[in-house]
Amino acid sequence: MKKYSLSIEDKHFDVEVNVEQDIAEVTVNGKLFNVKIEKSDEVVTKTSVVPKPAKTYQTNVIESSAPTKPKANIIKSPLPGSIVNILVSVGTKVKRGDVLVVLEAMKMENNIMADKDGVVKAVLTQAGKTVMMDDPLLEIE
């Protein structure tokens, strides 16, 4: 796994990349993405980032002196598709990188993996269901 620290338009990104065959596991600021690498006869020698219009986000910070329990992690669909198989159930212990769900998109099966160690708290979808990008699939605590 290779680790990078990137700054793009004054924003900082911690990036980890692990490539196996034609799938790259890319973690950006703690969020895991599975990226399909398509082979080409063309060799890329130069890359550039095309700036997007700035987005404004509002956050509210609430301070509390009460102890907090570990934050649950919602695993979301990275792209629209159909759920082919759910490989875990509530109570299953998972480790980072374990395959949780198989999602079919554009006639390709995509493995949705755990981005941290934990226990499956909830299964939020079912096999055969069509999901959109960012639809919740599982909750890991």
* Burial label, 28 (beta-carbon count in 10 A; 0-12, 13-18, 19+): middle
Give the helix/strand (H/E) hosting 99.
Answer: strand 99-105
Residue 55, in any domain of the structure: no
Q: Are 101 and 137 in contact (CB under 8 A)?
A: yes
Residue 113, pLDDT > 60, answer: yes
What lies within 8 Å, CB to CB, of 9 at 6+ separation is 51
Give yes or no: residues 128 and 78 share one domain: yes
Residue 41, in any domain of the structure: no
Could you tell me the CATH number of the domain that includes residue 97? 2.40.50.100
Give yes or no: residues 26 and 84 share one domain: no
For residue 88, give both structure tokens: 């875990």
Total domains in the chain come to: 2
Domain interval for residue 129: 73-140
Q: Are 2 and 24 in contact (CB under 8 A)?
A: no
Q: What is the pLDDT of residues 21-64, one digit of tens each?
A: 677 788 888 888 887 776 655 555 444 444 545 454 454 555 55
Average pLDDT on 73-81 reads 89
